[in-house]
Structure 1
Amino acid sequence: MTKMIHMPRRAALMAGISIASVALGCSAHAQDAAAPEQAAPPAEEGDIVVTGVRASLSSAQSIKRNSDVIVDSIVAEDIGKLPDRNVAEALQRITGIQIQRSFGEGSSVAIRGLSQVRTEINGRDVFTANGGRTLSLEDVPSELLAGVDVYKNPSADLIEGGIGGLINLRTRKPFDFDGFKASASASVNYYDMYGKSKPQANLLLSNRWDTGIGEIGVLVDLAYQKTAFRQDQISSQPFFLLDQSLKADGTPNNATDYATAQGLGRLGKPTYLPHGVGIGQYLGDRQRIGADVAVQWKPTDTLLVTGEYVRSDYKFQYGDYSFFAYTGTNSITPDYTAPFTFDDDGNFRSGTFVNVPIDSNTSLERRKSVTNDFSLNVKWNPTSNLTVTADGQFIRGVTDGQRSIVILHSNAERLYQVVGNGVPTMDILPDSNPANGNGSVTDIANYAPLGGGYLDHIDHSVGKEYAGRLDAEYKFDAGIIRSISGGLRYTDRTAVTDSSTYAYYGTSALADNLYEVHPFRGDLYRGYQGVPAGGVFFSRGIVLDYDATRQALAPYVDASQRQSLLDGVSYVPSDRNTQGEKTYTAYGVAKFDFEEAGFPLDGNIGVRVIKTKVATDGFSVQTPQAELPNGEPTNGAISYVPISVNSSYTKALPSLNLRYHFTDRLQLRLAASKGLTRPDFSQLNPNINIVEFNPGNGIRTSSSGNPYLKPLEAKQFDASLEWYFSRTGSLYAAGFYKKVDGFIANIATDETYDFGNGPFTVSVSRPLNGDNGKIKGFEVGGNSFFDFLPGLWSGFGVQANFTYVDSKAPSPAATDNEGNALIVPLEQLSKYSYNLIGFYDKGPLSARVAYNWRSKYVVTTRGNGSGELPIFNAARGQLDASLTYTVNDHFGLTVDGVNLTNTENRTYYGIPSRPQSSVLNDRRISITARLTY
């Protein structure tokens, strides 16, 4: 057990993380984030230096305790070993964070209910080029990271951009180590549903030398991950209420719905029918390649130069089998001779439908994202009181995507369906009359006559940013004001996005060798029996080759489209939108401490002022009405009219952070600040398509972005009471309140256009800055090892936290019976979430069992067919575990398990009795060997 050294408060603070303290509170934040080796409090004489789980908890606790702002951290236990392999999944262990998963892996996070989160690497911008502003957390191999810091109420010296919070990913530097350091690891990951194993490896080499021109250090950190996934899904199509209303003359307003209710014997009773069911089986893989190269040069004791290159290379691909028996918004016809059941509210429970169209889809989706980040930092200490830092960065991100879908058509003569609180059941049954065919969904003859179609889409995004900043901090030897810091920052960012519309090609019956029969029953959903035996699909082996797919389909499309299909999708002018953004920033921060005045209060106060200039370019696609020779109206020639919009705004963001020390171990934090989040570049897209000819005489509609959007602004207040009773033991409780102004929502408004034939009206859906929203809640948590227990029992420890978040935000998409906007919870926000983590760390053995749970949450405020009700994700919990055996100081073995409880994810339309989907993902088991010298 580590011996506790009692020190005066100031000595205790200085004995914390000196480098991390600078990173959190002073102008050199971008370069001084601590590595784990530096983050733990320095060992006093007689201390036992701890490693593994204890060391990581101690480091994370020290960062939280000694920072100038409210921050939570995760620190890697060893080189290349975050507690979770995925950054987003590691972040879910932090109080107040909830994650979204994509095909079984954590992909994005929300902090205290807000997804507007800023991401950084070493205190600098980092982003994925995808029309957004942040990094896709799934892109970066976690082995590159020394730790992750989450700022919940920042000070003015931290870069603006996240009203939810700021996530800083920290890499290592060569001067983090005393001398030569080498670490290597190799893993094999097994995915049980897919039945595949994939490799993973990491190599770090670092050294430092005294030379004639000063001390020089070089670090190279390389990471490679290959993962696989399988996701099985069974879903119900949206539920629709049968319209049984009558006109004044007593005839039905909807004759089909009225006849359906009559045939079911439900006239006068509310009746909700689903319009079909679906199956999805997604088989895919991910690849991550990461590199971090850092060079540090210290020519004198007062000058430190750091150059760094960070690269993430991410590839994602899946090919799926999707099978749908559904009618869309068209009516579905019951088999009135078969039994039907409904619940007390009229929701369909079971029954059989006839002549339901089938779509059998085989598709390919790919994404490749590469981000290159170059930085140079110079830190100068001309005196012991003054620190001057200059920092420059260039970052370039490129993302390419493809989506191609081959569709086959068939027909379900009879569709048997059961829904309820469990997994939906569906089966395709043959017609009772043998003369009508066998109706088998595994018979190619039942697909070929109806032909099919092909959908093709590509996209390409490039993002660049040049950034520079100059910061200075002066520390005073005595007095209430402990330091004054200030700085300037300039950024020049561009985002160019090309995204094609989906090209569609109708196909005739294909040759038999292009089809395949894929089984469902006994294979899908871990052997679930309530599905059809299988289906007929276009060959998945071909669809995984984008070019080969087009070549194979070319003989089966109309001759006039054949060359277009072979050439592939191309971009038209309106597929591109270009954004340019420049920011000019100045900030000042004063740190104060009233200890010398006999009052145990310290903190900082500051303001950050930012001027933002935005330039947006795109096209208005205009199709005027013309006349045929016979005088009939038709569409005229398309023209592309450039759109260019420039805008600017200036914002001041004040902040105040206070810390009151009741004792050396008990402290209270109070924080108030103002933050902003700029709109995503995709939301600023001005492109719009307007067609004047209106043959149906209905409402003309279109959609577009809005180049005039303003940033969301938040006033935020925090209070946190923290008790640190040992180096790895703490308890805390925090309350928070955010008032957000300018929530962005898509709203349809009437706009007038004139292409020379006279004015006409179009209902255009655009994102607009809306009303205010409020988020409030509290967090409680703690962690400790049971050092008071004897012998081996002292190796046990526990970490637990709980978060409550209550939110109210306007949603124009959800309305009450009078048409007023409903106040609903924020999307993707669970009101309750918690983590329970058990540890064991004693001698050569280290183990961790972690359970994460979150309550139900709104997926979307208005789901298709949900009767204006939101779509919910049901409550979900997941169990993960790891076990490490350290053979000696240089070699260790680790076994990890993810999703050990085989957690099922369920969604439903408004109420649980209208299920939407049930989803299962792989369990993952990993074995890792790790060498360190």
Structure 2
Amino acid sequence: MRSIRLAAYLVTTAGMALSTTQVMAQTPAPATPPAAAADDIVVTGQRASLAKSLEIKRDTIGIVDAISAEDIGKFPDQNIAESLQRIPGVSIDRVNGEGRGITVRGLGPEFNTVLLNNRLLSTDAGGRSFSFDILSSELISGAEVYKSSEARLQEGGIGSTVILRTARPTDRAGFRISANVAGRHDNTSNEVTPFFSGVISHSNEDRTFGVLASIIYDKRISQLTNISTDGWIINQNIDTNGDRVRDTRGVSLPRTVNYTSTRNDRERIGGTFALDYVVSDELKLTLDALYTQQKVDSRTNQLGYYVDPDRITNATINGNGTATSFTVLPATATSGLASDNILSTSPQDARTYQIGGNLAWTPSDDLTVVFDAAHSNSRNLSDQLFYVVGTRQVGVTPTFNLVGSDGLPEMTNILATNDKSQPRLHCCSERGGRNYDTINQGSIDGTWDVGSGILSKLQAGVQFTNRLKTTVVRESPEPLGCFYCGYLATAPGTLFSDFSANVQGRDITWLDYDRDALVRYYGSAAAVSQVGGTSQSAIDARNRFLAVYGGNNNSLDPIDRERGSGTVRENTYAGYVQASFQGDFGERRWTGMLGARVIHTNLFATGYSVTLLNIIQNPADPTAAVPVYSPTVPVTANNNYTYVLPTANFRLDATDKLTFRLAGSRTLTRPTLSRLGLSQDFVFRPPNSNTVSGGNPFLKPFLAWNADVSADYYFSRTSYASIAGFYKKLQNFIISGQQPEEYFGLQFIANRPYNAQDGDVYGFEAAVSATFDFLPAPFNHFGGAANYTKVESSISFDPSLSNQTFNVEGLSDSANLVLFYEDDRFQIRGAYNWRAPFLRQTFGPQSQPENINSYKQFDVSASLRLFDQVSLYGEVLNLTNQKFRSYSRFDERLITLSDQGRRVTVGVRTTF
């Protein structure tokens, strides 16, 4: 019966004909499934997807959840992260309204190992966590999330191991072409952009040779707005009665008040290639390749007000010590509050590829040896602009208030925000970086099917992984960045134009400008002559600026900077042994698995050491300072560690429909690569926001002892109910230790990572999925799924404790609900996703906690089969236009309230 289902199984992803997801060759043989009635056989559509996902879950000894091509292709999701969030216990973080990283059972992206076809995939980000926003769901045929570990699985995932799979050309015989063409509308920009995906595959009739290639093009244009504060500065002394005496202590103030509009032009291109060649009954060769690139042209216009505690008066303070209102003393020509017209960019030029080869040798019926090798490479280039032109608030008394149900910050009693006669040059610079990640990996795995006794299978293998992460920091050379800090030069009105936006319900107009024209004016005699006086030191400063400006091609273009740059090279060696067992308790069938994985890690870090020689404060701008550094000196460091990771899994098939599972393991997650570097960096924002940060190559890995238990009841091949409990005892947790340090009379908060604390994470998952085939028509065409995850920790965040240095970040409850209707021609599906409030990071903006409000999203998709080979479909993502909100410590301390955007897609899928 199972072979009939597999042969008949057909799903489509974006119009592609894709086969069932293949369970890894090393997976222990499943127990024989119970007999099913003929009407349980599922061959097409969403029921086929549910059947395959449930088959993977049922056949695995440990605890795993899966989604198949129908799930991915038919969800209105832009990338694979948004598809994975439908799995119990999985939630996601969004950037610009798109899923980027996954959190599994409360453990964030860095704690989840992501493999593509069982191979580690490089990432364009600074750490280890994979950025899912670069990977379109149309390139993936299936995904499995292993929540309990096995010795054969690559280490690194305390939270989970996620295995993404691409389609195989020999899954079906013959020649096939599929395509999907669509237009997507984003309500934030009111733009319609194209989407296209296609696949071509061919296999001979006996499916011993086949090739497959796929391609995807996806463009999105959004215009997202937000109101933000850049965090809150704490423990300030404030005047509350207008007598200019700072008589109230321990007050928290917004660092800034910002109104922001960002236009993002995102273009994603990707493709896969696969080749299968069955040389003989003993030998099979496969080749896989993936390429994906994402380019983002991002331009931000921002109106900002930078708060200086020394100039605040008549403040109102609530019971949490939060300033809910205050006035700002009028500015003078040389000091006081300014309205900043900020132009910045945050481009992305990311590219990732992977190529891998696999040789499966079966010298006998009971022995298989698999050789695998892969190479993966990623890079991200991102030079960013950040320019500020400001207008001093002379002659007015600006007033700050938190208003509305969301407690939005607002500045009133201010000068006209688009007055072109007032702007003065202030700062800043162009900066950016280069991230490169290269992974070379090889493995040998052997599987021996022992026989029909209690010991059913033996597996063993070795693996080697070499990873090189390189970070290059770029910045405009000094003194270009802060030569005009303090609003030291007027700018002609001809440089500016009006920029208008509706920012979270507020119609605002402020100043826009062309970066190239502004940079030319930066280096003009008219601008430079306004800085300093007639003293020799002022003349020398102007001449130095002009010399550097001219030597930098009359620009503020960034150059590579040794300080902050470096590499981390990591070699890992692993070996494992795993045994599978089976037997009977009377009429009850049981299967088990015992194993251990031994890993050795060798890390080599390089960087540059620098000494801070002096800090020159700017008398025209008390919030700016110029550092003086010694020449850089190369430095290196080594770190090595070895661990044994035992695993145990047990499954009892109590009846044909009821299964119990129990699992225990020790797992490991290596420190994120960005924390292992030797770099040290200073940020100068006197008087209250100076920081110094650095890495630590001697960090130990995170460790966890895990226990899992579950009970699953299978109503049919497409319906089940499940409940699972989990417990994780975490060790070697890495925290950013904070302590005050003083350099040349200025106070800094030093942030450096170290291993410090242990903690527990525990909770449960409940899930149900059903198709109503047993009901009379038309109700037999309905189906649905729901799940809920509860996560707790022994260490809870207490907003009243200002000295709390460690929390398990990202913990939150989550829930999903999916309902669908499907017949021979028409299908419609609605999906609801909810994530409870959670602590994103203990040390966020201004070194204070960042919390995320609860988030819920509704998605809808529908399709109509016009002909045998053609379907019309539509999708709506974020139907209710849900917004994203974050805050610092207490709810009234808003960090940001931003759009996510509603996206509507209409397209045609076809298969020939």
Please give the range of the TM-score, normalised by the shorter of the 2 chains: 0.7 to 0.9
**Alpha-carbon displacement from aligned partner over 1:599-622 (angstroms, at most 9, x marks no partner):** 521021101111111111111113
Instruction: Give distance in 1, aligned partners of 2:230 and 2:574.
Output: 50
1:747 match: 737
Query: Does the 8 A contact of 2:72 with 2:142 survive in 1?
Result: no
In 2: Cα distance, 1:460 partner to 1:883 partner: 42
User: What per-residue deviation string (whole Å, max 9, x for no partner) do you get for residues 541-584 of structure 1?
Assistant: xx4xxx78755654356524422352722123334311111111
> 1:499 aligned to 473, 476, 482, which one?
473
Q: Deviations over 1:508-542 (max 9, x none)?
A: 4334343121123xx333xx24x6x3111323xxx
Q: Which residue of 1 aligns with 2:455?
A: 481
Once the two structures are TM-superposed, the CA of residue 461 in structure 1 deviates from its matched residue by: 2.0
Relative to structure 1, is the Cα distance of residues 109 and 571 closer, same or farther in structure 2, using a 3 angstrom cutoff?
A: same
> Are residue 470 (structure 1) and residue 452 (structure 2) matched?
no
* Aligned counterpart, 1:786: 772
SS in 1 for 2:611: strand
Task: Sort the Cα spacing of 1:899 and 1:763 in 2 relative to 1 into closer, same or farther, 3 A.
Answer: closer
Q: Which residue of 2 is the match for residue 538 of structure 1? A: 513
Question: How far apart, CA to CA, are the structure 2 residues paired with 1:898 and 1:194?
Answer: 15
Aligned to 1:668: 660
Asked if 1:278 is matched to 2:278, the reply is no
Q: How does 1:163-562 map to 2 (within 5 A)?
A: 163-209=158-204, 215-236=208-229, 257-258=238-239, 260-261=240-241, 274=254, 277-334=257-314, 347-349=322-324, 353-355=328-330, 356-412=337-393, 413-420=396-403, 422-424=405-407, 439-447=415-423, 450-501=424-475, 504-507=481-484, 508-520=489-501, 523-525=502-504, 528-529=505-506, 533-539=508-514, 543=515, 550=519, 553-555=522-524, 556=527, 558-562=545-549
Q: What is the CA–CA distance in structure 2 between the aligned matches of 1:445 and 1:752, rounded to whole Å? A: 41
The Cα shift of 1:727 comes to 1.5
Given residue 814 of structure 2, which amino acid in structure 1 is its aligned partner? S
Number of residue equivalences: 849
TM-score by length of 2: 0.85
Q: Which residue of the partner structure matches residue 9 of structure 1? A: none
Match of 1:147 in 2: 142
CA 1:636 to 1:849, structure 2 compared with 1: closer, same or farther past 3 Å?
Answer: closer
Q: Which amino acid aligns with 1:473?
A: T
What are the Cα deviations for residues 602-655 of structure 1, in whole angstroms up to 9, with x where unaligned? 0211011111111111111135589xxxxxxx9988232221112211111110
Contact 2:882 2:901 in 1 (8 A): no
1:517–1:649 CA distance, 2 compared to 1 (3 A): same
**1:656 corresponding residue in structure 2:** 648
**Structure 2 CA distance, aligned partners of 1:145 and 1:95?**
20
Deviation of 1:77 (Å):
1.3
How far apart, in 2, do the equivalents of 1:810 and 1:641 lie?
42
Pair 879,415 (structure 1): closer, same or farther in 2 beyond 3 Å: farther
Hey, what's the Cα distance between the residues in 2 that align with 1:237 and 1:644?
A: 35
1:194-250 alpha-carbon deviations (Å, 9 max, x no partner): 111111111100001269xx932110111111112222112356566786xxxxxxx
Q: 2:867 pairs with 883, 888, 899, which one?
A: 888
TM superposition shift of 1:496: 1.6
SS at match of 1:827: coil
Counterpart of 1:717 in structure 2 is 707
Distance 1:502 1:101, change over 3 A: farther
Quote how far apart the aligned CAs of 1:662 are: 1.0
C-alpha distance in 2 between matches for 1:667 and 1:200: 43
The Cα shift of 1:329 comes to 4.7
* C-alpha contact (below 8 Å) 1:4/1:726 kept by paired residues: no
User: How far does the alpha carbon of each residue in 1:456-500 deviate from its partner, in whole angstroms, 9 at most, with x for none?
Assistant: 112112222221111110112310111001011111221221112
The structure-2 alpha-carbon separation of the partners of 1:711 and 1:751, relative to structure 1 and needing over 3 Å to count, comes to farther
Does structure 2 retain, via aligned residues, the 8 Å contact 1:290–1:313? Answer: yes
- Contact 1:414–1:428 at 8 Å: present in 2 too? no
Shift of 1:424: 4.8
The change in CA–CA distance for 1:622 and 1:599 in structure 2 (over 3 A counts) is: same
Distance 2:742 2:559 in 1: 31
| Equivalent position SS for 1:382 | strand
In 2, distance between residues paired with 1:762 and 1:823?
Answer: 20
Q: Which residue in 1 is equivalent to 2:761? A: 775
CA contact (8 A) 1:799 1:837 kept: yes
In structure 2, distance between residues paired with 1:203 and 1:111: 31
SS at match of 2:763: strand
Amino acid at match of 1:179: G
The CA deviation at 1:319 is: 0.5
| Partner secondary structure for residue 780 of structure 2 | helix
Letter aligned with residue 931 of structure 1: T
Deviation at 1:70, TM superposition (A): 1.1
Alpha-carbon shift at residue 295 of structure 1 (Å):
1.0
Q: CA deviation at 1:796?
A: 1.4
Partner of 2:620: none
1:719 to partner: Cα distance: 0.5
Report the Cα distance in structure 1 between the residues aligned to 2:601 and 2:842, rounded to whole angstroms. Answer: 32
Note the alpha carbon deviations across 1:346-391, whole angstroms, 9 max, x for none: 7555565453322111111111111121111011222221111110
1:829 aligns with 2:811: yes
RMSD: 3.8
Matching residue of 1:434: none
Alpha-carbon distance in 2 for matches of 1:366, 1:271: 37
Q: Deviations over 1:226-280 (max 9, x none)?
A: 112222112356566786xxxxxxxxxx5xx34x335699988997665652211
Work out whether residues 673 and 716 of structure 1, in 8 Å CA contact, stay in contact via their aligned partners in 2: yes
* Aligned 8 A contact 2:374 2:441 in 1: yes
Aligned-partner SS, 1:300: coil
Q: Which residue in 2 is equivalent to 1:70?
A: 63
Bigger CA drift: 887-896 or 696-705? 696-705
Structure 2 vs 1, CA of residues 113 and 467 (structure 1 numbering), >3 Å: closer, same or farther?
A: same
- SS, match of residue 573 in structure 1: strand
| Offset from partner CA, 1:717-751 (integer Å, 9 cap, x none) | 10011011012111000000001111111224799
Distance in 2, Cα, partners of 1:644 & 1:363:
35
Change (3 A) 1:672 1:843: same
Amino acid at match of 1:64: K
CA distance in 2, matches of 1:421, 1:298: 67
CA gap 1:699/1:59 in 2 versus in 1, 3 angstroms = closer
Q: 1:209 to 1:407 in 2, by over 3 A?
A: same
Q: Distance in 1 between matches of 2:517 and 2:264?
A: 19
Quote the Cα distance in structure 1 between the aligned partners of 2:689 and 2:856. 45
Residue type at the aligned position of 1:579: V
3-state DSSP of counterpart to 1:572: strand
1:84 aligns with 2:77: yes
Structure 1 unaligned regions, length at least 5: 7-16, 28-33, 35-39, 244-253, 335-339, 432-438, 627-633, 754-760
Distance (whole Å) between structure 1 residues aligned to residue 801 and residue 72 of structure 2: 54
Which one of the candidate residues 792, 797, 801 is aligned to 1:806? 792
**Alignment of 1:128 onto 2:126:** no
Q: Match for 1:368: what amino acid? A: D
1:899 aligned residue: 878
- Write the letter of the residue equivalent to 1:678: R
* Percent of matched pairs sharing the same residue: 29
Alpha-carbon distance change, 288 to 275 in structure 1, aligned in 2, over 3 angstroms: closer
Task: Tell me: CA distance 1:728–1:460, structure 2 relative to 1, closer, same or farther (3 Å).
Answer: same
Q: Which amino acid aligns with 2:418?
A: T
Q: Decide whether the 8 Å contact of 2:588 with 2:655 is kept in 1.
A: no
Aligned counterparts of 2:836 and 2:742: Cα–Cα separation in 1: 45
CA change 1:571–1:346 in 2 (3 A) is closer
